[in-house]
Amino acid sequence: MKVGRFLLTVVVILSFSLNVVFYLSGTIRTFASYSRQSTGLEGPVPERNNTESGFNEKSTYPINHPDTCSGDVDLIIIVCSGLGNFQSREFVRKSWGSYSKQEFLKTRLLFLVGLGDDATLEKVRKENRIHGDLIVGNFVDTYRNLTLKSISVLKWITTYCANAKYGLKADDDVFVNVPNLINALDVKRRKVEKFIIGSKQVGARPIQDKNSKWYTPREEFGEKVYPPYVSGTAYAFTLPAAVSLYSVTHEMKPFWLEDIYITGLCARAAGIPRFDHGGFTFQRRNPTGCAFKHSISGHYLTGEEMLKIYNDLLNVNLKCDTA
């Protein structure tokens, strides 16, 4: 009897153990399948970056256009866009992004987005098949991951566009007068090899108000004042500067405010000067060609306003009040 009960107990335990193993195996397979589906991309699940854990230098671009900079390139423009900002990207293409189609400017245009839900990524793939100008970075597309997006800009440029003279990082609600930008870069490059130009900010302090969008705890940034930096709405740099900036990101822990991290902390560590240029602003300009005729950038613009500005600037008979 004792032997019989012992054998029965062993059988029950083995049966339970096997069921647990099968259950866990199925759960793991289901989770892996879900993870693949949640990226909206085929193939292995990419290792997603996040600002807190740092940038994975070995990460790839699930959607990429490595041959964009073939030929002679003066300026590579990468517009950092929200994953679902389809209309904003279309307005950029139809307005100031069209400068990239003017061969004499030797300019290339790309949009960089991150990962998200299946439905949105499917629309992004379709958009990319139509326009062929989208890069998808290996990180979740969120506001807190803007630093990873900017590091991805530097990585892409140094990897696939090292033959260019300059790079421009811009947001998708900014208008940029590209001819004026290239002229300003050419002028500055006669004196300095490595530099960043934009709307320079000096003396900014970390915001300690917990209700603020830009609240930064003291443990995340220990200094009392941010180093001089340029507004992330739009800034430009030489390729040697991009190479140095990207190299520094390998060693410096990411900080979630991307413009302070890239053009402040990393630029300071790399010894790259940041120059203020009056043609840049993080503020809104009047949506007219005259407001942008001698300027470089303006922020908080709708798509319709971008079209108006661009068409105004194309008008050779544009007359502006100089008083």
- pLDDT one-digit tens code per residue, 1-18: 444 444 444 444 444 444
Q: Alpha-carbon distance 96 to 101, whole Å?
A: 10
Q: How confident is the model at residue 117, as a pLDDT?
A: 95
C-beta of residue 177 within 8 angstroms of C-beta of residue 292:
yes
Q: What is the C-alpha separation between 4 and 280, in angstroms, rounded?
A: 87
Tell me whether residue 108 is exposed, middle or buried, using C-beta atoms within 10 angstroms of its C-beta: 0 to 12, 13 to 18, 19 or more.
Answer: buried
For domain 75-314, the CATH architecture is Alpha-Beta Complex (3.90)
**125 burial level (CB within 10 Å; 0-12, 13-18, 19+):** middle
Whether 136 and 63 have beta carbons less than 8 Å apart is answered as yes
Mean per-residue pLDDT for 146-159?
96
For 134, the enclosing helix (H) or strand (E) is: strand 134-140
What are the structural domain ranges in the chain? 75-314
Helix (H) / strand (E) containing 237: strand 229-238
Please give the pLDDT value at position 8: 42
Average pLDDT of the segment spanning 66-81: 97
Q: What pTM was estimated for this model as a whole?
A: 0.83
- Please write the tens of the pLDDT for every residue from 28-68: 333 333 233 333 343 333 445 555 556 666 678 999 999 99
Partnered with residue 229 across adjacent β-strands are: 201
% of residues, the chain, pLDDT over 90:
75
pLDDT at 220: 87
Residue (of 11, 161, 169, 142) closest to 74 by Cα position: 161
Helix 86-94 with 303-314: angle, nearest 10 deg: 10
Residue 165, pLDDT score: 98
